[in-house]
Amino acid sequence: FAPWDDPNEKPLIRFENVTKKFGDFTAIDDLTLNIYEREFFALLGPSGCGKTTMMRMLAGFENPTSGKMELSGKNIAGIPPNKRAVNMMFQSYALFPHLSVWENIAFGLKRGNMDKRDIAARVEEMLKLTRLTKFAGRKPHQISGGQRQRVALARSLAKAPKLLLLDEPLGALDKKLRQDTQFELMDIQESTGTTFVIVTHDQEEAMTVASRVAVMDEGRIIQVATPDGIYEAPNSVYVADFIGDVNIIEGTVKPAGDGMYSLAWAENEPPFLASSDLPFSDGQKAHLAIRPEKIAITTEKPEEAKNAVQGSVLDIAYLGNLSTYHVQLAGGQIIKAQTANTRRLSRRSITWEDKVWISWNATAGVLLEQ
């Protein structure tokens, strides 16, 4: 079991030492993962890390080269896509242009041996769920992009799959509509109780919709956690850097008692204090990961903060709700600090080339091995 799996809970999906090779190339590398019932699970990672390959194996379009894949405790190797309680919704939606919304949703049901009246009842239910009842008689070209997305979702859920795979489900929508639709997707997932697995390039989207996120790299899983777990407690520099903005300060660790460590990071500068659950030994190399919004920037030396260091402002970006500062420290290191602009700025209190103090609390950062 991976450290993030619960050995007492039965997974809906289990990958056990799954490897997928294309010729000599290993796309998925000895991967073990549990996905539980009713989860909204996101696969995140750079292009080519194997997200689509995972989805295609779940859907049954590809088989693992070795290892075991289970759905509800049963081995699914060799079971064809249409015989699995799994459905996949593609970015293109693949709606039939000549069929009405109603007929599009009914299509998969008609191919089974379901009673006509039951089909009608199920389609009505799906129309209601996705707020499309009014549009039942229209063709796909007579409805908006957001509505088309909901038709595709209704159609994918009509046969009540145990697992729905969503490949960039909101990729065709503009930003505002995309954000609204994220909340709809979460509502629908919750009310149907179907397990959703989503692949998206938009990290913010994954963090918004998912109950757990897996961060992948080169066919492996680096960390699985809740969105806040991934953001606040990344297990590696790779994960910290992949999700959001982060400052990484390299140094040498000295234990300071009570789970605290001091990090020597530059000559002639006092060390930074950091807390960590990991056991670091004296003299070990480590990386302190600290998010820009955890760093305060002031003109006077702060009295309270554990870590304070002087630097000069290289540049400032005003983003409306936030301002971002790049501050160069004596050792040459550049630190990014971000402050919320909660009050209207009458004048900039800190400007370019100012000498400033940046500071943060010992518990605000995460000390990482690599």
Q: Which residues bind ligand ATP (CB under 6 A)?
A: 22, 25, 27, 45, 47-53
Beta strands in 162-320 (DSSP E): 163-167, 195-199, 212-217, 220-225, 247-257, 260-264, 272-275, 285-290, 296-298, 307-318
Which CB, 72 or 91, lies closer to ligand ATP? Answer: 91
Which CB, 11 or 50, lies closer to ligand ATP? Answer: 50
Q: Which helix (H) or strand (E) holds 231?
A: helix 227-232
Q: What's the CA dihedral at 325, 329, 334, 335 to 10 degrees?
A: -50
User: What's the rounded Cα separation, in Å, for the pair 314 and 351?
Assistant: 9
Structure tokens at 337: 């600090």
User: What's the rounded Cα separation, in Å, for the pair 215 and 4?
Assistant: 12
* Residue 21: CB minimum distance to ligand ATP, A: 9
Residue pointed to by tokens 């959703």: 196
Sheet (strand 322-329) strand order: 296-298, 355-360, 307-318, 322-329, 334-340
Backbone angles phi, psi at 142, to 5 degrees: -100, 10
Which residues are CB-neighbours of 149 under 8 A, at least 6 positions away?
A: 93, 169, 170, 172, 173, 181
* Residue 243: CB minimum distance to ligand ATP, A: 16
Which CB, 47 or 268, lies closer to ligand ATP? Answer: 47
Which CB, 61 or 183, lies closer to ligand ATP? Answer: 61
Which CB, 123 or 167, lies closer to ligand ATP? Answer: 167
* Residue 33: CB minimum distance to ligand ATP, A: 14
* Residue 56: CB minimum distance to ligand ATP, A: 7
Which CB, 29 or 369, lies closer to ligand ATP? Answer: 29
* Residue 201: CB minimum distance to ligand ATP, A: 6
* Residue 15: CB minimum distance to ligand ATP, A: 14
Which CB, 49 or 158, lies closer to ligand ATP? Answer: 49
Q: Which helix (H) or strand (E) holds 360?
A: strand 355-360
* Residue 28: CB minimum distance to ligand ATP, A: 8
